[in-house]
Chains A and B, each alone.
Chain A
Amino acid sequence: MIFRGKAWVFGDSISTDHIAPGRYFHLRTNLPELAKHVLEDASPDFASQMQPGDFVVAGRNFGLGSSREHAPRIIKLAGVSAVLAQSFARIFYRNAINVGLPVLELDTAGISQGDELEADLAAGTVRNLTGGGQLSFQPLPPVMVKILNDGGIVEHFRKYGDFNLET
């Protein structure tokens, strides 16, 4: 799978409160509405200005905090093709794969706001079409590749009628 889009650059420690703020708690049963506020507390213009296919690019420990699965869901629902970060918090990472949002670990320091990127999930590479150069991302753990390839944990479950993940 190859994605192409613009980079929206965020810093370190982007929490689930930045992504899906608590003041919109009442919208948790209305994901399309909640998605209009995605990442609002980190970048107020992001939700209204990003284009489908764009990338969220961040530093360390992206998605730290709450277990709210709404966070990766509304990033995906907004049309973000993948989140690129130096590292991810554990629950966010698992939730993202469960809902079919690619999360790629790589050194994002050289990516600037607005850079045009091309991510090749199978090849494990991200090309910077604006700034030049190619980055490799950490391969996803096999269990995550399996869930992602099945289309998320719900589709995985539909396919096998059970968990089929043990190593």
Chain B
Amino acid sequence: MSSTLAEKIIAAHVGREVGPGEIVVTPVDVAALQDGTGPLALMQLEELGLVQAHNPARTILFIDHAAPSPRKELSNAHVSLRRFAARTGTVLSEINEGVCHQRLVESFASPGDIVIGADSHTCTSGALAAFATGMGSTDVGLGIATGKTWLKVPETFRVVLSGSFPAGVFAKDLMLHLIGRIGADGATYMALEFTGPLAAEMSMPERFTLANMAVEAGAKTGLFAADETTRVFLAGQGREADYRPLTSDDGAACARTVEVDAGALEPTVSAPHTVDNTMTVVDAAGTKVDQVFIGTCTNGRLEDLRIAAGILEGRHRHPVTRLIVTPASRSVYIQAAREGLLGVFAEAGATVTGPGCGACVGVHGGILGDGEVCVATQNRNFQGRMGNAAGFIYLASPATAAATAIKGEIADPREFMEDQDNQ
């Protein structure tokens, strides 16, 4: 039988062939909590008398959403995570180590794994050909305690990527375009599987950006094949031994297929207040912007910071537009510092923060004022997302965000990239 990536990974875990719609109880390889969802999971485990971890070395508690803590209630939530880690021997990813999804791909998730995380963007690790999916606190808590979870085997929605990115167009633009096309519920309950010649050519950071936003189309995970690019990435993390090739079978049945030609794309934004409310930057240009935020598990990686710095170098943010730059992890931060990128941002007038979820989740460090407009490289623009229901969020690529910071209004990155390639 021909199988999709999702079916292959689940089948390997349960020891038999599986098909869409089947309910399986499966071993879990990696389980993750963060400081917003973790305390509730731990309370549930206390209630069940299950304060334990089946696989402590691959159970990670991330302190990233409110890091460093802006309030005593959150400091106390952090204390509860540290206590659990100390009691059970699980891994604690402290303040400053980075956003859980970036840390998971750097150090924990591997091809063929089943990864569950109490954070909806856990699907990011799908770019490494791991079946990685977000769940609630209780589901992940039980997964941590027992080493198992239940899953419905998803149908697969195949996205065939072809062509090459024109100047000024990036993986983020492609994903926003795709979600605009299929809708915020276009892939509900399904596994997105990214294939085609462009998927094979994409760098790991580009793949992470796409997989990260699978949930914004309603999907359970967003998968790429594990190939030579995956191997090189893992080797760079000192994890070459975790690599194994993994692809879906030709002819595996998919519920739906969509083709995207990157060559036909324009720089794209999602306008308030839904991710599928997309338009081209050309159409959105001129909208006044109060704050630009470059960072997050979607676009806070080194490659993203290089693109933004390439545009901001020798330039300054517009006087009325604040600029916040938040590297996704400590290793991204260190490398960006070594390359001089953080200095470029500082000279351009940016507030450079430590790694974390920062402004994206509306907890601290960049909350919008009433009526203010933000252009952000994150994955969500829901009403209230950045801490104020009276704020307006546009999602964009790091290049569009950087160009916008300079002009003080939504701006086309191609204006600032005449002599540059995308890379």
Contact size range, A? 35 or more
B233 interface contact, C-beta 8 A = no
A153 to B188 Cα, complex, angstroms: 22
How many CB-defined contacts (below 8 Å) exist between A and B?
153
Partner of A29, one of B40, B65, B120, B185: B40
Instruction: Give per-residue flags for B116-138: 1 if the beta carbon is below 8 A from chain A beta carbons, else 0.
Output: 01111010000000000011111
B336-389 interface with A by 8 A CB criterion: 361-363, 367, 380, 382-389
Query: Are B39 and A23 neighbours in the complex by a CB distance under 8 Å?
Result: no
Query: Are A67 and B48 neighbours in the complex by a CB distance under 8 Å?
Result: no
Closest A residue to B362 by CB, please name it.
Answer: A22
B311 interface contact, C-beta 8 A = no
A48-71 interface with B by 8 A CB criterion: 60-61, 64-70
A98 to B146 Cα, complex, angstroms: 17
Q: Which of B68-76, B104-112, B262-270, B403-411 contacts A (4 or more CB under 8 A)?
A: B68-76
A81 to B139 Cα, complex, angstroms: 22
16 residue pairs of the A-B complex, CB under 8 angstroms, read A22-B385, A22-B387, A23-B367, A26-B73, A29-B73, A29-B76, A41-B384, A64-B218, A67-B119, A69-B118, A70-B40, A95-B135, A98-B136, A153-B138, A154-B47, A166-B150
Query: Are B25 and A163 neighbours in the complex by a CB distance under 8 Å?
Result: yes
Closest B residue to A15 by CB, please name it.
Answer: B382
A145-167 interface with B by 8 A CB criterion: 153-154, 157-158, 162-163, 165-167
B46 CB → nearest A CB, Å: 11
Query: Are B44 and A154 neighbours in the complex by a CB distance under 8 Å?
Result: yes
- When distances are taken between beta carbons in the complex, the residues of chain B under 8 Å from A153 are 138-139, 142
Interface size on B, residues (CB 8 A): 59
A27 interface contact, C-beta 8 A = yes
The 4 closest A-B pairs by CB, nearest first: A22-B362, A69-B136, A26-B73, A95-B136
B400 interface contact, C-beta 8 A = no
B70 CB → nearest A CB, Å: 8
- Name B residues whose Cβ lies closer than 8 Å to a Cβ of A: 22-25, 36-37, 39-40, 43-44, 47-48, 65-66, 71, 73-74, 76-77, 80, 117-120, 122, 134-139, 142, 146, 148-150, 152, 184-185, 188-189, 215, 218, 220, 273-274, 361-363, 367, 380, 382-389
A87 CB → nearest B CB, Å: 6
A12-38 interface with B by 8 A CB criterion: 13, 15, 17-18, 21-23, 25-30
Closest A residue to B274 by CB, please name it.
Answer: A13
Query: Are A94 and B389 neighbours in the complex by a CB distance under 8 Å?
Result: no
A166 to B18 Cα, complex, angstroms: 12
- When distances are taken between beta carbons in the complex, the residues of chain A under 8 Å from B138 are 69, 95, 98-99, 153-154
Partner of B135, one of A91, A157, A167: A91
A47 interface contact, C-beta 8 A = no
B50 CB → nearest A CB, Å: 8
- When distances are taken between beta carbons in the complex, the residues of chain A under 8 Å from B220 are 90
Query: Are A22 and B185 neighbours in the complex by a CB distance under 8 Å?
Result: no
A121 interface contact, C-beta 8 A = no
